[in-house]
Amino acid sequence: MKTETLAVTSPSTTKRRFRIDLKDFGVLGGLLVIVLYLALATDTFLTSQNLVNLLDQAVVIGLIAVGATICIISGVFDLSSSANLAMSAIAGVFFTQVFGVEIGFILALLTGAALGAITGLMIVVTRVHSFIGSLAMSIIYRGLAVVLTAGAIVSPHMEQLDGFRVWTRSVVGGITSGTLLFVLALIIFGLILWATTYGRRIYAVGGNAEAARLSGIRTPLIHVSAFAISGLCAAAAGMVLASRAGSAQPAMATGLELTAIAAVVIGGTSIMGGAGAVWRTAVGVMILTVIANGFNLMGWDTTYQQVVTGALILIAVAADSLLIHRWRRS
């Protein structure tokens, strides 16, 4: 993807496959450097308790970011994911009260997917730019969440609470089931993007929607499904969050959709669509999480953490646009 600029004129193309990709290297290398630094500078970073916490902290933002990855690669932005998260979690709590924990969880996921599909449909039908369309839908969802709960915190019945906390349980080596859910999402959606015809279509639509359309791909369907996946992931994140708090409320996770997009971009997925990967997002999420963790462990003033995060986003986006620029020119 990124080394091909050389291929135009370079006769020695046989080794291209094994050439180190600068962009991959940058992202992974960056994560590695931070991890190494923290491992050497602190005694606490490499403790199993810290590592378990670290993964736990990555779960919610990570799940949203997986959905955002699919959307961004297909050429749309979903700014409604955190509002969808709140709606789905609230719906999940209500469903749990009626049907029990397991069915409640499944119905929460379906709610998220359905709300995502509605967002997608609105955008595809009205042909509004996804940025504005999903922003409008997010305001609607937040409003509906307040309506549904009358602004209050909702929780499952007392006797269900223990079961509802399922996503905080440690499973293997202290790692929580929430973390496993995130890893599962990474594997499933990573595989879908990498190995399936659907994944290939996502890349094609994001890379050149008109070319995709003329190749027989139903681009509106791809976009609606991308929003549905984003909704599904947001709902999963919402249930993990609700499971931890034992409750859900209309203002939960406000603004997290932007952090998720930041993680996607830091991982090196192109903001222009058509290029990127789920593993990149996993790396991007871990970079953000490890930095936050680092500030804690080093006892640094966490107010600077935002400055660092912002700088990282700038670097990632600049690298992306510079690479695209170079590729266009040649």
Partner 1 sequence: MTLSISELTDPMGESPAPSIKLDTVGKSYAGTSVLRGVTLTIAPGEIHGLLGENGAGKSTLLKILGGVIPADTGTVAFDQKHVRIGSPRDSIELGVSLIAQELALVPARSVLENVFLGSWSNIFTIARSSRDRAVLEKLMDDTGFHLDIDAPVSSLPLGKAQQVEILKALARGSKVLCLDEPTAALGEVDTKNLIRLLKQLAASGTTIIIVSHFLEEILGLADRITVLRDGNQIVTDDANGYDADKLVQLMVGRQAAALARTPGAIDPNAEIVLRASNLTNDFIKDISFEIRRGEILGLAGLMGAGRSETLNAVFGSDRVTSGEVEVNGRRVRRNSVSASIKNGLALVPESRKDQGLVLGRTATDNIALPSLDKRQTAGFIHRRREAEVVAKAITDVDIRGRVQLVSVGALSGGNQQKALFAKWLINPPQVFLIDEPTRGVDVAAKVNIHNLILELAEAGAAVVVASSELEEVTSLSHRLLVLQQGRVVAEFDRSASPDEIMSAAFL
Residues in contact with partner 1 by CB under 8 A are 1, 4-10, 13-14, 16-17, 192, 195-198, 200-201, 203-204, 207-208, 210-218, 270, 274-275, 327-330
What's the closest the beta carbon of residue 186 comes to partner 1, in angstroms?
A: 18
What's the closest the beta carbon of residue 271 comes to partner 1, in angstroms?
A: 13
What's the closest the beta carbon of residue 129 comes to partner 1, in angstroms?
A: 15
Please say which residue, 30 or 274, places its beta carbon nearer to partner 1: 274
Please say which residue, 139 or 195, places its beta carbon nearer to partner 1: 195
In angstroms, the CA 122 to CA 128 distance is 8
Instruction: Write the CB contacts of 131 (distance below 8 Å, at least 6 apart in sequence).
Output: 77, 79
Beta-carbon neighbour count of residue 146 at 10 Å? 16
3-class secondary-structure state, position 288: helix
Please say which residue, 291 or 319, places its beta carbon nearer to partner 1: 319
What's the closest the beta carbon of residue 99 comes to partner 1, in angstroms?
A: 30
In angstroms, the CA 189 to CA 67 distance is 9
Please say which residue, 165 or 213, places its beta carbon nearer to partner 1: 213
What's the closest the beta carbon of residue 325 comes to partner 1, in angstroms?
A: 12
Radius of gyration for the chain, computed over Cα atoms and rounded to the nearest angstrom:
20
What's the closest the beta carbon of residue 275 comes to partner 1, in angstroms?
A: 5
Please say which residue, 8 or 158, places its beta carbon nearer to partner 1: 8
- Name the residue type at position 197: T
Residue 154's φ and ψ, nearest 5 degrees, are -115, 145
CB-CB contact of 166 with 259 (8 Å): no
Please say which residue, 7 or 152, places its beta carbon nearer to partner 1: 7
What's the closest the beta carbon of residue 213 comes to partner 1, in angstroms?
A: 6
In angstroms, the CA 268 to CA 287 distance is 12
Handedness of CA 232, 238, 239, 241 (dihedral sign): positive
In angstroms, the CA 68 to CA 79 distance is 9
Residues β-bridged to residue 248: 154
Please say which residue, 131 or 327, places its beta carbon nearer to partner 1: 327
